[in-house]
Amino acid sequence: MTQITALESFVRGLPKAELHIHIEGSLEPELIFQLAKRNGITLSYPSVEALRAAYAFTDLQSFLDIYYAGASVLITEQDFYDMAMAYFRRAAADQVIHAELFFDPQTHTERGIAIGTVINGLVRAQAAAKAELGVTSALILCFLRHLSEDDAFKTLAEAEPFLQHIVGVGLDSSEVGHPPEKFARVFAKARALGLRAVAHAGEEGPPAYVWGALDVLHVQRIDHGVQSIRDEQLMQRLIDTRMPLTVCPLSNVKLCVYKHLADHNLGQMLARGVCVTINSDDPAYFGGYMNQNFVETVMALNLTAADARQLAANSFEASFVDADARAAMMQRLADYCAAHGV
């Protein structure tokens, strides 16, 4: 066994948490066609192959256009259950033991799908994943930032009867031109309801968006955040506060944030003590679930087994689980690493 093969094997077996996964972005073309048939929907693509061939994105917006089209096949509670279970099975195979799923209710409610249909389907899948796969999970309701804050308030109100199933709120969709400040009041309301807060910032947007997410939305994690490295004062704050960044390396390459994975700054940020984590983002569209992101990033950036262990530890540190659950996850990681001499 070569050293690279040994390292890859170690990385693949690492217990890990995924903190940046858009559940609608795990909808594989095969399942899109299956659900379209079940729900009597005619797609604008003639085949699975034709749809997958369309996944050649030039930026975030070109991806979002096809992402929303794919989500149109989700109609019933069973559809949301099937989508989430397909993700959980892939996650379990990649040794993900905890996942915090983003979902976009506005993508569905504007099509006339009740928010309860979405949440109940996902909650059923969470219960099945825990019972059958040993994967624990949480739900984070994301507001679509290209829509208005009033629309976000309406969505939060619709979600209130289901808050026992939701751990936090997030902010996603088109970043540029939609700074975090646009959603200051709705995030304040969500925090008052006892919800955690995260936000996409610094993917394509400037470091100023990361500052806004921290100081105006008072988030507890930054999703992406790779542009933070352009602002030394911001970098020092991230280091000093252990503010987690949920980084999505293959997504960043697929959406042309970086030309090559070897150009990614995750290794630099990790070396400086930023609490960076690796995640898959929208894996059906970006060509890689957790282990593919982990393995390809470790290899491209010449990271070590100890670096990979730190990335996994960061994912547990940054998760929204209680202290006992976090300690158990950390112990599982420690046992695995001890068995592999890392």
Hey, is 157 helix, strand or coil?
helix
Hey, is 140 helix, strand or coil?
strand
Indicate if 100 belongs to the active site.
no
> 224 among the known binding-site residues?
no
Q: Which of 203, 204, 232, 317 is catalytic?
A: 203
**Spatial strand order in the sheet of 136-144:** 16-22, 96-103, 136-144, 168-172, 196-201, 221-224, 245-247, 276-278
Name the CA dihedral angle for 239, 244, 250, 254, rounded to a multiple of 10 degrees.
Answer: -90
Q: Which two tokens stand for residue 234?
A: 């911001």
Q: Which two tokens stand for residue 259?
A: 């030309």
Q: Which two tokens stand for residue 286?
A: 């970006």
> Are 60 and 174 in contact, with CB atoms under 8 Å apart?
yes
Task: Residue 313: count other Cβ atoms within 10 Å of its Cβ.
Answer: 21
DSSP 281: B
The amino acid at residue 128 is A
301 contact partners, CB below 8 Å, separation of at least 6 = 261, 262, 264, 266, 267
Place of tokens 């670096």: 307
Q: Which two tokens stand for residue 193?
A: 């309801």
> 264 among the known binding-site residues?
no
Rounded to 5°, angle at Cα 176 from 225 and 254? 60
Cα dihedral sign for 214, 216, 220, 226? Answer: negative
> Are 311 and 278 in contact, with CB atoms under 8 Å apart?
yes
Q: Which residues of 147-156 are buried (b: 16+ CB within 10 A; e: fewer)?
A: bebebbbebb
> 108 among the known binding-site residues?
no
Q: Which two tokens stand for residue 275?
A: 């609490």
What residues act catalytically?
Answer: 203
Residue ranges of the annotated binding site for substrate are 282
Binding positions are: 20, 22, 200, 281-282
